[in-house]
Amino acid sequence: MDAIAQAVALLPQAGPRQAIGEEAIGIKGFLETSFVDWPGKVASVLFLPRCNFRCPFCHNHQLVLNPEGHEDIPLTHIMARLAELEGWVDGVCISGGEPTIHPLLPSLIAQIKGLGLPVKLDTNGSRPHVLQALVEEDLVDCVAMDIKAPLDELRYARAAGAPVDLTAIQESISLLKQGKVEYHFRTTVVPALHKGEDLLHIAHHLSGSSSLTLQNFNPEDPLDQRLKGTSPYPEEWLQEMGERIASILRH
């Protein structure tokens, strides 16, 4: 059986949830192997377009602001390659953009899991009901959720570049902290948006969580070009903050 036939044969039986058109989901990027997107695993990564946030530091802003500028990658091609990569990758990351804004996300994940591959979801946590359904239906094995800022309306809106429903963010945090799936919280640290005390504030809010990873801001090509070329924090400072945060999370 060739790879495509194998991939098709492995798809879940057709039904309303699997009635997914590749044009409808519009997958814009496919990285066959990544060593950095799922901690401790080798993963393929799919990038979905569009997002309900406009984080000034976003480095995937082409997918957010101009998704039509990128061609869709046929789902049949992706499924065939994933089938061929069996044994080489440990799972598939669904990233973006913000994947949970796509109504067909559960169907896409169901198809990937039909290949026997675990799935990790990257999310901004703004759609807790979607997250909850994915967890309850065993469609995600791991979730990485961004925490943009301390949970106060002004600072969160500034870091997300849009008004944010903090109740929804809190619901997603509480859901993940139940520990039904592996989860990771992460914050992209930007000097113009975050001071050390903000990071400690976030850590206290997440106290008892398994992890909060600090990612350094990349000034090469951010969504808000006013941040372009501005200096990120030194790596040593970030590492020191990471140690203080780990100790807060344990308590």
Give contact residues for ligand SF4 (rule: CB under 6 A).
51, 53-55, 58, 60, 64, 96-98, 124, 146
Q: How near is the Cβ of 124 to ligand SF4 at its closest, in Å?
A: 4
Closer Cβ to ligand SF4, 26 or 248, answer by number: 26
* Alpha carbon distance, N-terminus to C-terminus of the chain: 54
Q: How near is the Cβ of 4 to ligand SF4 at its closest, in Å?
A: 31
Tokens linked to 235: 């790596």
Side chain identity, residue 118: P
Closer Cβ to ligand SF4, 60 or 209, answer by number: 60
Q: Which helix (H) or strand (E) holds 93?
A: strand 91-95
Q: Which long-range contacts (CB under 8 A, 24 or more apart) does 131-136 make?
A: 131/100, 131/172, 131/175, 131/176, 132/175, 133/106, 134/105, 134/106, 134/109, 135/175, 135/180, 135/181
Closer Cβ to ligand SF4, 133 or 162, answer by number: 162
Closer Cβ to ligand SF4, 70 or 81, answer by number: 70
Closer Cβ to ligand SF4, 11 or 157, answer by number: 157
CA distance to 20, 89, 133, per residue, from 40 (Å): 31, 11, 26
Tokens linked to 174: 């509480």
Q: How near is the Cβ of 104 to ligand SF4 at its closest, in Å?
A: 18
Q: How near is the Cβ of 138 to ligand SF4 at its closest, in Å?
A: 25
Q: How near is the Cβ of 58 to ligand SF4 at its closest, in Å?
A: 3
